[in-house]
Structure 1
């Protein structure tokens, strides 16, 4: 791989990220690339992992992964099975849901059990005190299993478009700490 600035790959969660979501705003403002999945409604873990692998192998540039919600579990599952993890410099993992909760929709049941192996690259987990999809303690335990730093951000819901974050400079600062060289 070359020494070019890393490309940033956005990994949205279930149902994708809408226009007011910080991931979508970062794509417009900073040119980040969204990893498009074939099925956002009924996400199949193996299909999503194969698509991420395909995108990472399509370029000879290292990547930073910016995952939201189910995208965090994509990072964990992909890294546990891929032989190409050296292509990733780091991952920002925002609001990982607890897919093993009883009240999760059936569309997410094939993401059980959650992959809880140590990530082979630097990672930071950001979570909210009032995320409707994961209790803070469960998220902290996931971060620990992944070998990631965990940072609570207060009460921000699911840290998505409904959270009113706008361009979310705090998130960008965390991405810079992982190696993003943007402004």
Structure 2
């Protein structure tokens, strides 16, 4: 049985050159569209995830979050306690860090709850929004396996990953 893969972009959405957009277009994954990409409220994002996910057999659902969507997934799991197939958490932004951009509401403090499903956290050693030490702390708290992909910035459009085959290999480990 094939998984149902949801793409969850972070703050400001994922543009045309982002690996999430490439995956959506290439593999037919489903993007969860949030009401407000630029000044989001956490409860809105959490409820939007749940509205999309609960329409499908949970045992088939895999969430692919980037940046702010990573902590949103953790808050969603805590609020709804739904057991899904798994989650790929890429470039989790540290919402508690001074470098985190302003404009978001309700995402702090950084959630440190154990996820009730398998997950892989992917981090870069030179991400301006999370240190590798903090990414390790998050992964441990979430019960997630940490994968450090080296110097790839925020693992976003600026990282020029294209279709990002190495990321797809990680995602397939959750299948």
Q: TM-score range by the shorter chain?
A: over 0.9
Q: Within 2, Cα distance between the matches of 1:154 and 1:23?
A: 19
Question: Which structure 2 segments of 5+ residues have no match?
Answer: none
TM-score (norm 2): 0.96
User: 2:72: which partner in 1?
Assistant: 74
Question: What SS class does the counterpart of residue 166 from structure 1 fall into?
Answer: coil
1:42 aligns with 2:39: yes
How far, CA to CA, are the matches of 2:63 and 2:120 in structure 1? 11
* SS state at 1:66 partner: strand
Residue 152 of structure 2 is aligned to residue 156 of structure 1: yes
**2:18 matched to 1:21?**
yes
User: Secondary structure at 1:158's aligned position in 2?
Assistant: coil
Structure-2 separation of matches of 1:55 and 1:109 = 21
User: Is 2:100 the partner of 1:108?
Assistant: no
Q: Report the equivalent of 1:63.
A: 61
The answer to whether 1:136 aligns with 2:117 is: no
Q: Give the alignment's TM-score, normalised by structure 1.
A: 0.92
SS in 2 for 1:144: helix
Closer, same or farther: CA 178–30 of 1 in aligned 2, 3 Å:
same
Residue number among 1, 4, 8 corresponding to 1:7 in the alignment: 4
Contact 1:95 1:131 in 2 (8 A): yes
Contact 1:90 1:121 in 2 (8 A): yes
The secondary structure found in structure 1 opposite 2:104 is helix
The answer to whether the 8 Å contact 1:99/1:108 transfers is no
What is the alpha-carbon root mean square deviation over aligned residues? 1.1
